[in-house]
């Protein structure tokens, strides 16, 4: 509890100590002879103790022209009650209202703290070595390229590359994956992971601001500013609802007693006309108490906030409440193949060469690919094995969906698929292997091809099964690879459909085609690894980048970022979003249901102010507790 909350609590307690005996006296449960005026003055002590700030805010609100806020409603209602002789109720309403306010501010503060605890990745210091001594400094002050020391049990403060030591890292705060990762010299480490066993020397590759931990915290903290439809609906609703109820209250205070007086109906039930007015005005005050939309207004942003926090704890970064909401409506998912469904580590399975040697063919291909970060390029370089001299390569041109053209040792080399061969006017020789065929042309003549094949990700099949179970109707793979490969992969993992041999632009039109099929509230998601699929990521209703930890481009382009490359996370993200939205809907229905019921009961005179305020505070407490459930979605 912070000092502000403690102060409010003290006021509530003092006020309650005064209130209880006074209430017993006023209800004549305890008999004490006292003039009425003395009782009223005594009641003002607990009333002002607990409510003076509400009265002040209401007054300031009126002065600034913002009439219809909760403070105004509470002020009018409680003063109304006191003036009408219901001192006890008037004070009690103010007291309970403050109890609700205290709980709400405590719960919101607590869940915010919870999220930062859950996301325990903000590093406090970095160790640097100065003259053989280890010194703790603010991570902000460490320059790129410095060597930092990370001891066992410490958080890695900045992104970098290990230059000494061996250890196991716990990356669960980043990826949600609790299995430790073994690392040694040459491995990349990301800030926010925890060093478990050995001392590591790390050469930093990013400043603190640009490091993974800072970026993730930034994303989560800013997510609340991208509002969902539900949140927008509620704030609009509150703006309309409160004045409506106030006018209804006014009508309730004036019309029925007027009607009764004019028609003289039911007069017998009342002692005097004054009593008629008092009765209906009191009902109107009850109306005002009920009209505070606090529970819904507070619980919905809180649900989303908690949901986003819970999701990031599970390794799913959601960039805004709106995306969480859209994700829950996804029924069609399009996937990229390489790096998303398959591992993207291509193994060379065969080399068919004609005029030149096998080794030579691979060398030309690897050299041409030496500047690209495409998974195929990396695999060819790895297959070649020897060191590549980039000075031998010039005039390099990467054509996405085709391959690469370059000059190697003065020869024209083209490496890529059949489209690439067509482009350079060389006839590609067909191959009997099923796999990704990388053709090589040398000085305008066909030189042979390299067959590479990729492996499915271990969880790909299970991921599709879970998606189907979660009600995803259509799973479509979009790939630039050959049809034979696509067909095989699609059948093995159990996709409902696939499109092959697509250029990046074709992928966009394929997604547009699929978007047309999504009728009603069905939404389409695209899942990719962020390598050359940024346009599709942004074209889909929702773009999901996977394995994107450390890849800026993907984090930029996507709406949701899966921190590791496990395809099971897709189903998990969907489940989290659905649970969150379910909780939001429960809260809306429950809170509004109780409100409407209370309004009806108050109008016909069954519910008094006690019922109204208890219902209000009770609903608020339940709704906030329900919202906090969104935090605990990791093990869905
Ligand atoms: P995916 O849709 O599987 O992500 P891409 O669109 O990146 O694939 O590439 C489609 C095809 O284009 C590849 O299967 C390959 O045949 C060819 N290709 C793309 N980039 C390269 C490259 N750097 N080297 C060789 N071939 C490439
Ligand atoms: Mg790709």
Active site residues: 336
Structure confidence by residue, pLDDT tens digits, 493-537: 999 999 999 988 889 999 999 999 988 889 999 998 877 777 888
Q: How many CB atoms lie within 10 A of CB 536?
A: 26
- In a mutational test of the pocket of ligand 1, which residue from 361, 377, 403 has the highest number of ligand atoms less than 8 Å from its CB? 403
The pLDDT of residue 449 is 93
Structure confidence by residue, pLDDT tens digits, 564-606: 888 999 999 999 999 999 999 999 899 889 988 988 898 888 8
- By DSSP bridging, strand 330-336 and strand 523-528 are parallel
What mean pLDDT do residues 143-147 have?
Answer: 91
Distance between CA atoms of residues 583 and 575, nearest Å: 12
What mean pLDDT do residues 280-296 have?
Answer: 82
The pLDDT of residue 115 is 65
The pLDDT of residue 29 is 86
The better pLDDT of the pair 463, 107 is held by 463
The pLDDT of residue 262 is 79
395, containing H or E segment: strand 393-399
Write down the pTM of the prediction: 0.81
67: tokens are: 């009439």
Structure confidence by residue, pLDDT tens digits, 192-228: 888 999 999 999 999 988 888 887 777 777 776 777 8
Helix, strand, coil shares, percent, the chain, to 5:
55, 20, 30
Q: Is the C-beta atom of 376 inside 6 A of ligand 1?
A: yes
The pLDDT of residue 235 is 76
The pLDDT of residue 265 is 57
Burial of 117 per CB tally in 10 Å (0-12, 13-18, 19+): exposed
Q: Atom 10, ligand 1: which residue's CA is nearest?
A: 480
The pLDDT of residue 550 is 54
Q: Is the C-beta atom of 528 inside 6 A of ligand 1?
A: no
C-alpha distances in angstroms, 210 versus 48, 205, 218? 51, 9, 10
Q: Is the C-beta atom of 337 inside 6 A of ligand 1?
A: yes
Q: Check pLDDT > 80 for residue 257.
A: yes
Give the DSSP per-residue string, 593-629. HHHHHHHHHHHTT-S-HHHHHHHHHHHHHHHHHHHHG
Structure confidence by residue, pLDDT tens digits, 100-133: 889 888 887 777 666 666 667 778 899 998 888 8
Q: Is the C-beta atom of 374 inside 6 A of ligand 1?
A: yes
Q: Is the C-beta atom of 536 inside 6 A of ligand 1?
A: no
Structure confidence by residue, pLDDT tens digits, 429-451: 888 888 899 999 999 999 999 99
The better pLDDT of the pair 402, 531 is held by 402
Percent of the chain having pLDDT more than 70? 96
The better pLDDT of the pair 56, 564 is held by 56
Contacts 24+ apart (CB under 8 A), 186-190: 186/161, 186/162, 187/161, 187/162, 188/159, 188/160, 188/161, 188/162, 188/550, 189/150, 189/156, 189/159, 189/160, 189/161, 189/162, 190/156, 190/159, 190/549, 190/550
Q: Is the C-beta atom of 527 inside 6 A of ligand 1?
A: no
Contact present, 155 and 192 (Cβ < 8 Å): yes
- In a mutational test of the pocket of ligand 1, which residue from 369, 481, 536, 554 has the highest number of ligand atoms less than 8 Å from its CB? 481
Shortest-distance ligand to the CA of residue 436: 1
| CA of residue 533 to ligand 1 center, whole Å | 12
Confidence of residue 182 (pLDDT cuts 50, 70, 90): very high
| CA of residue 480 to ligand 2 center, whole Å | 8
The better pLDDT of the pair 360, 216 is held by 360
The better pLDDT of the pair 158, 602 is held by 158
Determine the atom of ligand 1 nearest the C-alpha atom of 532.
7
Q: Atom 12, ligand 1: which residue's CA is nearest?
A: 401
Confidence of residue 614 (pLDDT cuts 50, 70, 90): confident
Task: Tell me 108's DSSP state.
Answer: H
Determine the atom of ligand 1 nearest the C-alpha atom of 340.
4
Shortest-distance ligand to the CA of residue 415: 1
Q: Is the C-beta atom of 416 inside 6 A of ligand 1?
A: yes
Mean pLDDT of the chain: 87
| CA of residue 514 to ligand 1 center, whole Å | 22
Determine the atom of ligand 1 nearest the C-alpha atom of 369.
23
| CA of residue 205 to ligand 1 center, whole Å | 29
Q: Is the C-beta atom of 77 inside 6 A of ligand 1?
A: no
Shortest-distance ligand to the CA of residue 399: 1
């Amino acid at each position: 509890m912070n000092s502000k909350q403690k102060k409010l609590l003290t006021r509530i307690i003092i006020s309650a100590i005064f209130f209880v005996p006074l209430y017993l006296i006023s209800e004549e449960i305890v008999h004490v002879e006292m003039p009425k005026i003395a009782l009223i003055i005594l009641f003002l002590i607990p009333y002002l103790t607990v409510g003076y700030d509400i009265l002040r805010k209401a007054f300031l609100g009126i002065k600034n022209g913002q009439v219809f806020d909760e403070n105004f409603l509470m002020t009018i209602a409680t003063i109304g009650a006191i003036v009408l002789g219901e001192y006890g109720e008037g004070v009690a309403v103010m007291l309970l209202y403050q109890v609700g306010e205290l709980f709400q501010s405590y719960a919101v503060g607590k869940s915010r703290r919870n999220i930062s605890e859950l996301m325990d990745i903000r590093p406090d210091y970095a160790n640097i070595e100065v003259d053989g001594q280890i010194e703790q400094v603010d991570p902000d002050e460490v320059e790129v390229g410095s060597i930092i020391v990370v001891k066992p049990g410490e958080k890695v403060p900045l992104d970098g590359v290990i230059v000494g030591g061996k250890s196991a890292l716990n990356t669960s705060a980043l990826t949600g994956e609790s299995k430790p990762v073994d690392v040694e010299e040459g491995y990349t480490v990301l800030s926010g992971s925890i060093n478990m066993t050995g001392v590591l020397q790390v050469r930093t590759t990013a400043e603190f601001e640009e490091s993974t931990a800072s970026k993730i915290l930034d994303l989560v903290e800013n997510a609340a500013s991208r509002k969902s439809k539900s949140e927008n609906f509620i704030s609009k609703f509150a703006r309309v609802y409160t004045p409506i109820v106030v006018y209804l209250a006014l009508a309730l205070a004036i019309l029925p007693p007027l009607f009764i007086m004019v028609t003289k109906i039911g007069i017998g039930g009342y002692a005097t006309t004054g009593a008629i007015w008092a009765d209906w005005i009191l009902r109107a005050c009850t109306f005002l108490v009920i009209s505070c939309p606090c529970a819904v207004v507070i619980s919905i942003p809180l649900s989303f906030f908690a949901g986003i926090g819970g999701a990031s704890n599970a390794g799913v970064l959601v960039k805004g409440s709106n995306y969480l909401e859209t994700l829950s409506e996804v029924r069609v998912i399009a996937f990229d193949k390489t790096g998303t469904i398959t591992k993207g580590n291509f193994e060379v399975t065969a080399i068919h060469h004609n005029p030149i040697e096998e080794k030579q063919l691979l060398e030309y291909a690897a050299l041409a690919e030496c500047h690209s970060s495409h998974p195929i390029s990396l695999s060819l370089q790895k297959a070649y094995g020897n060191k590549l001299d980039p000075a031998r390569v010039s005039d390099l041109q990467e054509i996405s969906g085709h391959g690469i053209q370059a000059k190697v040792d003065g020869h024209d080399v083209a490496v890529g698929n059949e489209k690439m061969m067509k482009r350079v006017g060389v006839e590609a020789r067909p191959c009997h292997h099923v796999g990704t065929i990388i053709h090589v042309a040398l000085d305008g003549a066909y030189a042979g091809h390299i067959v590479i094949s990729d492996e499915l990700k271990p969880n790909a099949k299970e991921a599709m099964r879970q998606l189907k179970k979660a009600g995803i109707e259509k799973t479509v793979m979009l790939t630039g690879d050959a049809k034979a490969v696509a067909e095989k992969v699609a059948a093995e993992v159990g996709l409902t459909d696939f499109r092959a041999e697509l250029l990046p632009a074709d992928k966009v039109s394929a997604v547009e085609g699929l978007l047309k099929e999504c009728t009603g509230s069905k939404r389409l998601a695209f899942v990719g690894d962020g390598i050359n699929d940024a346009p599709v990521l942004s074209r889909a209703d929702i773009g999901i980048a996977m394995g994107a930890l450390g890849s800026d481009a993907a984090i930029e382009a996507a709406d949701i970022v899966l921190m590791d490359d496990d395809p099971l996370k897709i189903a998990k993200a969907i489940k989290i979003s659905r649970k969150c939205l379910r909780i939001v809907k429960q809260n809306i229905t429950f809170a509004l249901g109780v409100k409407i019921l209370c309004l009806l009961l108050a109008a016909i005179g069954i519910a008094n102010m006690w019922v109204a305020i208890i219902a209000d505070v009770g609903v608020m407490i339940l709704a906030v507790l329900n919202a906090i459930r969104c935090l605990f979605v990791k093990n869905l």
